Structure 1
């Protein structure tokens, strides 16, 4: 015979309220779970409806990206205010001023949320990278990865190929002769890894030593029109290389004179070396370069300080080495649209 707690017998109204509360909780949890797709990795946009009714599932990612872009534009106004405070113009702002409560990186927050799972892929410490929505890329029948700067460590590239057997990696580094052992010692990965001792640069100079190529030229050589994951770690050469890359995919309207850029990449993992000798170690030049990336549709969704070389030299080194991950919000690809999933 079931035993009924005495508190329920003495307070039937309390028992009824308790049952109602439990049922309401179950209903709320059920409705929340039913609104999540893609393994629960997508987050709900803040505005779940428009004047014509709720967004369809096919519009969900697109709407999330739109809302994040609105927030990002608000952050840009905050950056302008910060420049006025410490400048008041970009040419007057110091990148790493002594005794001030800011550094260059405080102006460039990763304020754009990836609408999918963000995870660190590759080894812990130097070598791993933060990636947006690779569970979606892993579902694709084709997957193209470009990796510039191998330096004997390929845990990132190996993990991407392991996660998606369709992924192929094109690696470039003139300072080494092959991928790291994470790829080069695994026969099943070797067949999908293609290494070349080339330098990425702002111009094509194949006869120089080392041979230099622009990213557009390398894509043309490989017969590629799209890169799912672009990793660049080339010790300061990223500035000129990316300027040329953006210019190569920018068209100008002959009538209005307006420029349109559509980069053939889904996301980019970039180590930035804002060193004084690079030409972009001062705020004015760095800011102009960063804004060029933003106009091209690249939005930072993660950052991670690389403090290894500061730890080595201990003092007298400014913190000018940082990892950023960018999502390309332009175009129609798996990270900003459901058309490919």
Structure 2
């Protein structure tokens, strides 16, 4: 009897199935240090315990995207080990901060299935929850993945495509308990721009760029215990090891600091697309567009809905061609909500 795990194939999933992912992970200050070494992450709330305490939190949390990566990595052996592509995200919510010492685990429920017309692959929709040691949900999101079939003769399942929100309402967003920007120090945060300074439709060129290195992306992917073969094994993808999409997301978010230094906390993920593959040697540059603004109901704290676009060259603010397809230099198109002092 085989003792190794070949991963799940499309025919192994069923709507309503619940997957309890292995290997819980206790996060430490080492997680933060390595995250900040891998990316030019400089948002003050995640860099300084004193700054965080002045904002009403007990200490500096782990970066929102670091928590996302830990939870995401747990899901890979069960969901995307045999994936062709990670297709998109929706209804992502950060429900409470993650602090050093917290232990995270993950579980996913299958909410949709659709076999592709070629009969060789299919799309699987899952809703994933990350929970801490108190069984509190810290993060939840939906993603959908194209997965290979192993048995091409396996019958196609009934098609179920979940009805997902295109955009989270501001009422869906959770402001962390105690968060208070009344003593916010703009000198220490790095910029003076408040929520009021941004206008819907405004675009921001974040100027800076970082060239992706082979060793760094593999170190990051191992840190999140992401075992997807396409990120490590050249025999699986001879044209090059594919950069983990989360590596691109974190790099883009970190680079957005220049112009959005006070967009401190990510609290909602409306959608996202890895538009084109990223490989070592690509230089990532980013730009943002303000899609919407909302008051959260918590005094002094506003929410910005932002489009974050990562590219590997080309002019900023160019996204699609005349046919509506992503331009070949676009790597990432991410739609998210962030909290900012008003």
- Output the TM-score relative to the length of structure 1: 0.25
- Normalization by structure 2: what TM-score? 0.25
Flag the structure with higher helix content: 1
Higher strand residue share: 2
Structure ID, larger Rg:
1
Higher relative contact order (CA 8 A, sep 6+): 2
